[in-house]
Amino acid sequence: MPEQLYNAIFIGSIYALFAIGFALVFSVLDILNLAHPAVFMLGAFTALFCMATLGLPAGAAVVIAFVATGLFGILLDRVAFAPLRRRDAPPLSAMISSIAVAAIIVRLVELRYGTDFLSYPPESLPSLPFQVGESRLDGLRLVIIGVAFAFMVGLTYLVRGTRLGRELRALAENPRAARLLGVDVERAIAITFFISSGLGGIAGVLLGFAYNSIYPQMGTLYELKAFTVMVVGGMGSLPGAVLGAFILGLGEVASIEFLPSEFRDAFAFGLLFLILVIRPRGLLGHKAVDRV
């Protein structure tokens, strides 16, 4: 039992880190950034590059992955979203633009690393088994849970307690008003993308470490799960994303117990559908239904 709970919390943490990045961009810019899963993957592979090719330790690789994916996020905005913003394009155009970038990135990584599963260099990842009652648990996952929580707390503080956070919230409410109030909109957006992509990249590295298995298409599965997370929690709501993530994590682990394994993924999508039909705004989100 504790092992399942441990796994549920672990997987929930990963989903949360991943989904928060999605939710952040959606709440500030109303865009569904479908390049986010590619960034997730990029984080994992950046760490691989650092550790396998440059021989750096895991800790350094994590930091570099965060910064690299964060910067990539800024580049992503410049190339794919900023031009659309300039002509006031509807959010669906931005979504398609992000699909394009994702396709390019994933394919380039595939060409460099192949499409198969890869592992981090042996001995590079700490192995810290510990006992809880009867179960032997992997301490690496505990570290990951800790790191994930640290980031989530940090982000919460940023959004609620800092001036930047206020600017982001203003931007989310009303971009025009924010600009009139003196918010440097482009700077705030750049920072949003840095944080969002950085978090996505971190999620990728940590997941890669935990399973010690990465591949270029790894973002797709998490992307689909992230939709469920965001819809359940409420699109654009950061606490909603965290809540949705843990609900999904617990639900998946529980469903493995009671359903054949083929249906584990079905749980996520079934839940997605159910929520969209019953309460599209999710637990903590805004109205999602046409009034007329």
Partner 1 sequence: MIDQFLATYSTLLATVGINALLAISVWVTLYAGQLTLGNAAFMGIAAYTSALLTLKAGMPFPLVLLAGGVVSAVLAVPLGVTVFRLRGVYLAIATIGFGEVVRVVLLAIPITGKALGLNGIPPKTELWHIALLLTVTAYVLGRVRASTAGRAWAAIREDEVAAASQGIAVRRYKLAAFVIGAFVAGIAGGLSAHLNFAIEPGDFGFVRAVQILVFAVVGGIPSVLGPIVGATLLTALPELLRPLRDYRDVFQGAILLFVIVFLPRGLVTLATLGRTRRLARIGQLDAA
Could you list the residues that contact partner 1 (CB under 8 A)? 26, 32, 79-80, 83-84, 87-93, 95-97, 99-104, 106-108, 111, 220, 224, 227-228, 231, 235, 260, 262-263, 265-266, 268-270, 272-273, 276-277, 280, 288-290, 292
H or E segment to which residue 291 belongs: none
Place of tokens 């591949």: 215
Nearer to partner 1, 60 or 104 (CB): 104
Q: Classify residue 4 as exposed, middle or buried by CB count within 10 Å of its CB (0-12, 13-18, 19+).
A: middle
State the minimum distance, in angstroms, from the CB of residue 52 to partner 1: 23
Tell me the CB-side half-sphere exposure of residue 133, using CA atoms within 13 A. 4
In the complex, the smallest distance separating the C-beta of residue 162 from partner 1, rounded to whole angstroms, is 28
Tell me the β-bridge partners of 172. none
Least CB distance from residue 189 to partner 1, whole Å?
Answer: 17
Q: Which residues contact 222 (CB under 8 A, 6 or more apart)?
A: 14, 15, 18, 37, 40, 203, 207
- Nearer to partner 1 by C-beta: 180 or 289? 289
Identity of the residue, 132 or 266, whose beta carbon is nearer to partner 1 in the bound complex: 266
H/E element, 18:
helix 2-29
Report the residue count for the chain: 292
Distance CA 252, CA 255 (A): 5
CB of 248 to partner 1, least distance (A): 13
Nearer to partner 1, 103 or 254 (CB): 103
Instruction: Scan for tokens 């999508």, then name that residue.
Output: 269
Compute the least distance from the CB of residue 243 to partner 1, in Å.
Answer: 18
Query: Closest Cα to residue 273, out of 234, 210, 237, 228?
Result: 228
CB of 28 to partner 1, least distance (A): 14
CA dihedral 153, 95, 70, 10 (to 10 degrees): 40
Give the nearer residue to partner 1 in terms of CB position, either 222 or 246.
Answer: 222
The number of beta carbons lying within 10 Å of the beta carbon of residue 40 is 31
Query: With respect to partner 1, which residue has the nearer C-beta, 235 or 241?
Result: 235
Judged by beta carbon, residue 100 or residue 132, the one nearer partner 1 is 100
Q: Which is nearer to partner 1, 111 or 181 (CB)?
A: 111
Task: Compute the distance between CA of residue 33 and CA of residue 22 in angstroms, rounded to an integer.
Answer: 7
| Shortest Cβ 274–partner 1 spacing (Å) | 10
Q: What is the DSSP letter of 115?
A: S
- Please give the backbone phi and psi of residue 138, each rounded to the nearest 5 degrees, phi first: -90, 120
β-bridge mates for residue 136, sequence order:
131
Cβ at position 104, least distance to partner 1 in Å: 4
